[in-house]
Amino acid sequence: MTETTPGTAYLVGAGPGDRGLMTARALELIARADVVLYDKLIPEDALSGARPDAELVDVGKIGGGRQVPQETTTALLVEHALAGKDVVRLKGGDPFVFGRGGEEAQACAAHGIPFQVVPGVTAGIAASAYAGVPVTQRGVAAAVAFVTGHEDPAKPETQIDWPALAAFPGTLVFYMGVRQLPRIAEQLVAGGRSPEEPVAVVERGTYGDQRSIRGTLATIAEDAAVAEIKPPSITVIGPVAALHDELQWLDAARPLAGVTVAVTRARAQASALAASLRALGAGVVEAPSIRIEPLEALVPPLDPYDLVAFTSPNAVSRFFDLVHDARDLAGQTVAAIGPGTARALRAHGIVADVVPPRSIAESLVEALEGVAITKALIPRAEEARDILPAALEGRGATVDVLPLYRTVPEPLDRAARDAALGARYATFTSASSVRFFHAAAGTLDGPRLVSIGPATSAALRELGHEPDVEAEVHTPDGLVAALVADVAGARA
């Protein structure tokens, strides 16, 4: 009987919560893994790049909630690796900083399983930085100590030497210690630290809903209780914590902090919009109500056409699935209905000759006035408004419409429906997304409705809903800008 060669175990740090802080190596290994054993405290879309056939196993622990025993997690890691599978053990933060990665590495070594360690950005540094607190600062703190706050300082078997820790000449960063704040502060003051020493507590550091409070050793336990600070949180103790007020930068960088936004775009297109929103601090609910379905099509010889007019980025993408050489468009006037479509063309090496100021067919018709057109090709969706072909035919041109794709409804499960309707905003980037979401959800009541442009707004009005926000620039970036402005106006 042939003995199975063990797979490789990768002990991977996912960072503190902001997906942008995940390493390139971590994303590469997730994309290759046969099995991913993941914690709760990983970025919300950290697994989006995993193989469709990969086995994803939640082994996360929640403070005060459901617990997966470490022994179970380690046993799963060993079992899958011994079965010849490459396993990513994905851990919040860094696997070797209060992550029990050392124990998992020892188990691999004991079973002859090859393993690698991929460090991650640890919360003690990242959450502090996102709160405007440098853990070291020239002239203020020349050393930093990372301490688990999960132990009860009153326990006789504690591994922490509290008097020595109180005497430590630098910054103290406690992980997982929010429930122990009264005892931690008491022990440090008893050991000689000033009751007036500054303290900062950062909840859900680097996530979109991060928040922080500042106090002193004398007040921080009560301050945290009043603010209802919950895990996961880190606590920074020392003079550097006072720099929070001066160096706090996150509010300006994240104008959508604390705002939930539902994205209803097709799943394949939603990631870029969702990433833009998350980068601005929003909590994103992905509720795709639409799917792009390519059609069988044959692009005719382009020589007879003096105009090729693209009416969506999807049309551009599908067109170049069928036409692989951009030089086929040499000699034709190329029109794009708006900046997003023009950007899609540029990605294929084509600079549009005509781009109207507004991303609607009426504006493109106006922009084409004065352009000599005898024969036009319009690659587009199967069902679309006929304003452009009708206008060109009215000018005496021969028009061929080339359907390249259709939009079809995407089923919406109850959890996604409820989350989307419970969001503060719901974004719509096409008339189809409006109609399909309404059909799937049964209503548009609840969130403020954000429209990418006039055609999308018209679809909302047809269903009896006036858009709360309409983008001035009819692109995903324009939609985000309009949403940011609406949030700022509400907060003013």
Which positions are annotated as active-site residues?
39, 61, 176
Specify the amino acid at residue 136.
T
Residue 469 CA to chain centroid, in angstroms?
22
CA pair distance 95, 117, nearest whole angstrom: 8
Q: What angle do CA 44, 267, 313 make, to 5 degrees?
A: 130
Two tokens, residue 98: 């209060």
DSSP letter string, 280-325: TT-EEEE---EEEEE----PPPSTT-SEEEE-SHHHHHHHHHH---
Residue 450's beta-bridge partner residues? 427, 469
Specify the amino acid at residue 353.
D
CA pair distance 39, 37, nearest whole angstrom: 7
Sort strands 333-336 and 375-381 into parallel, antiparallel or unpaired: unpaired
Largest CA distance in the chain: 92
CA pair distance 126, 15, nearest whole angstrom: 8
SS3 content of the chain, % helix, strand, coil (to 5): 35, 20, 45
